Amino acid sequence: MPAEKMRLFVASIGLLLTTGIASSQPQPAPDDAAIVAKGYQLFNDTSLSGGGNFSCASCHFSTGHTNNKTYVGLDVVADGDPNGRSTPTLWGAGERSVYGWGGTAPTLEESIRGIIVNRMKGAEPSKETLGALAAYVRSLRYPTNWQLKEDGTPFPVATSAVKHGFELFIGEAGCGTCHVLPNLDKPNRDDIGTGGRFKVPSLRAVASTAPYFHDGRTASLRDAVKFMWEVYAKKMDTGHVPTDAELDDLVAYVGAL
C-alpha cells in the first residue's frame, strides 16, 4: 500500500474507532489504529496462502463481506453440494460465540489460523499476524437498520411488519431459541436435518449473505425462514403452519437485522 494511502487509511480507522462506528464491541485505543491498518493489509495479502493466489479478501472482499459462494477448500462448488461450505460475512464477526460451520474454533484468532493453515495451505502465521488480522476483523461492524436497536429489538418507529415479525421471532416461530439476541447466534451445534450438526450462525446482515445454510442449499431468505419455522414446529409439535402473511412479517424482521 503506498505510504500516503496507508496514512489516510490509518487516520480513517482511528476516527472510526474513536467514534465507535466501526464496531459495537469495545474498541482499542486510537493508537492501535495502525494495528487495524496492518490487519487490513494482511487481509488482502495473497502471500498468506500456500500458492500465493488467495487472500482473506478473495472470499470476503476488502470489507469483510461475503462473495456469496460455496466452497470445498478453495474450489467453488455448486450451492447445495453436501461437502460445500458457504462463505459467511465477517461483518460483526468479533461478536460471534464460536467460529466455523463446525463450531470448532472458540476464538477469532484460532479461526483465522485454521483458515490460513488448513484452507489456504499457508505457513503457520505469527502471533503478530493473527493479532493484526483479528483486530481488523473486529473493526468490521455489521450494518445498522433504522428500524432496530443495537440489541435487535424494534424501535417504536419500526413498521408494523417488522414489529410483528419480531414477536413471531421470539414467540411462535421459535427463532429466538437458537438465534439469541443480541448477537443472533449461540455456540451450540444443532442438527436441523441438513446433513449433520452445525453451528447456529448469526443472523446479522443475513439479507446480504445468501445462499443459506452450511452448504448454500437455499437461495431465498424467505425459503430459509420457512424451512426453519417448519423445523421448529416439528420439533416442538406445535402443528403451526405459517401463513404467507406471517412469513412476510418474519422475513421483514429478519431482513432488517
Positive or negative CA dihedral for 216, 217, 220, 222?
A: negative
Alpha-carbon distance of 89 to 21, in angstroms, equals 18
Options 1.10.760.10, 3.40.50.920, 3.30.70.520, 1.20.140.10; CATH for 3-138 is 1.10.760.10
- Does residue 163 carry a pLDDT above 70? yes
Exposed, middle or buried: residue 29 (CB in 10 Å: 0-12, 13-18, 19+)?
exposed
Alpha-carbon distance of 213 to 226, in angstroms, equals 13
Is-contact 238 157, C-beta < 8 A? Answer: no
Its pTM stands at 0.84
- Identify the bridge partners of residue 180 per DSSP, sorted by sequence position: 185
pLDDT digits (tens, 9 = 90+) for 106-153: 999 999 999 999 999 999 999 999 999 999 999 999 999 999 999 999
Domain definitions of the chain by residue range? 3-138, 160-256
Alpha-carbon distance of 203 to 216, in angstroms, equals 15
Is-contact 69 76, C-beta < 8 A? Answer: yes
The CATH number given to 160-256 is: 1.10.760.10
Alpha-carbon distance of 222 to 44, in angstroms, equals 33
Alpha-carbon distance of 248 to 222, in angstroms, equals 8
Identical fold at 3-138 and 160-256? Answer: yes
Positive or negative CA dihedral for 218, 224, 228, 231?
A: negative
The upper half-sphere exposure of residue 189, i.e. CA atoms within 13 Å in the direction of its Cβ, equals: 14
- 211: preceding bond cis by omega (within 30 degrees): yes
pLDDT digits (tens, 9 = 90+) for 72-114: 999 999 999 999 999 999 999 998 989 999 999 999 999 999 9
- 156: preceding bond cis by omega (within 30 degrees): no
